[in-house]
Copies of this chain bind each other. A is one copy, B any other.
Amino acid sequence: MQEEALQYAREHREQFLNDLKAIVSIPSVSTDDTYKPDIQKAAEWVAAQLRGLGMDRVQVYPTARHPVVYGEWLGAGADKPTVLIYGHYDVQPVDPVELWTTPPFEPTLRGDNLYGRGASDMKGQVVASLKAVEAVARTGGLPVNLKWLIEGEEEIGSPSLAAFIADNKDLLACDVCLNPDAGMIGPDLPTITYALRGLAYFEIRLKGPDHDLHSGINGGVVRNPANELARLIAGMHDENNHITLPGFYDRVRELDAEERAELARLDMDEDFYKKQTGVPALWGEKGYSPVERTGARPTLDVNGLLAGWTGQGAKTVIPAGAMAKVSCRLVPDQDPEEIYRSLLKYMETNAPPTVTWEVVKLTGGAASISDRNNFAVKAMSAAMESVWGKRPVFKREGGSVPVVGQMQSLLNVESVLIGFGLPDDNLHAPNEKLTLPVWYKGIEALVHFFYNL
């Protein structure tokens, strides 16, 4: 039966790809409310797919912002495990859109790659899950019970999801969560992610004069809020690139020697990161290797800066205000709320009386770390070995998937974190792509996974 399902998956690749193109064509950008109709359309598309797979109780649940799609099939029986498949159908914005070779919402094949916003993060992964289930369901039938929870707010920090899970604990009860929102280190390196960084994302707004000033008439007597914002941001790191927010590292769980040795075995050295990013030289916190710095250490990055005149040419203005979007990637056991208070304390201590300021919390989620001996992790490890011919590597992921922590705390289940995207997929950037040969292998790995459970 398993072989028939794999055969089905191989024979239906063209149809799978067409379905992927259909969902990538929908501009379901969650951060911008002008896309609300497309968000709804994407949710309905997922619901229609679930109905097509014979799922029961398929429903698009409204939330405070963007809907959650649910569906289930419990026909395997109470003695079989129930897998909750998590995913999100929303995508990041596309700016700067002029850097895309082809339009972000016109999925385009070039070589082995499908280009389009969400092709990798994570419409491709949602469709891989749908198609693996299709292959199993249309051949021997599903050997496990399934539930689906596909949200539309992941790229804005899943503001409605925790409440939805808390309000629907019985509906969502399961034995394990399959979360394909992670990725692979390389096309021949199947990867299981066992730890994720958290996120605390802020907007810092400084105000100086009550209107934009002429920099000649007033330059020299007013604190320029853009200069001051630069000073405040600069002060958030010391000369060793440690973060200076008071108490920032208090709860950071240090790596032990064994885990450091294991992480060192990953094929992710300086050259790997230089090639992925195109920077002239790496940078980072003193005392840690690159793979440790991206997976096991917290960071603080400016995500956006805006002040004054940014158009063509010169405008001699002292801007009335200046804005920075600043976010921290967190590691176990840092708490986003404590990081917020730490940033407030930094601002209270360091912002001068010549400006006023506010800090707005935009989104946040705790870091997570998973049990590598969970039955489903073992099933996934064996599934990947069947397809790639080698055991997967175990890694800490620098990105944030707050739902993994919510699954632990609200449903008391572990997540199996995988995905079939690659480090050069340009996530959150122009020219996002998905490498199809790896994706097809991923669908087969998921088929194995359902049979291995």
Contact = CB atoms under 8 A, between A and B. Distances in A.
Number of copies: 2
30 contacts: A31-B311, A33-B312, A93-B309, A99-B211, A201-B316, A209-B278, A211-B426, A211-B430, A211-B431, A215-B327, A216-B397, A217-B399, A218-B273, A220-B294, A220-B398, A221-B273, A221-B294, A222-B279, A222-B282, A224-B301, A227-B302, A280-B354, A303-B317, A303-B319, A306-B306, A306-B310, A314-B362, A316-B400, A316-B428, A317-B428
A297 interface: yes
Contacts of A431: 211
A314 B279 contact: no
Interface string A298-326: 01111111111111111111110011110
A271 B63 CA distance: 52
A313 B218 contact: no
Given A222-B283, A224-B302, A429 B308 contact: no
Given A211-B430, A227-B302, A305-B307, A218 B277 contact: yes
Contacts of A213: 277, 428-429
A338 interface: no
Q: Size band of the A side of the interface? A: 35 or more
A31 B315 CA distance: 8
Given A216-B398, A277-B218, A429-B212, A226 B311 contact: no
A309 B236 CA distance: 20
Given A308-B302, A399-B214, A222 B314 contact: no
A307 B233 CA distance: 14
A160 B284 CA distance: 47
A42 interface: no
Most buried by B among A282, A316, A318, A400: A316
Nearest to A299: B219
A189 to B, nearest CB: 15
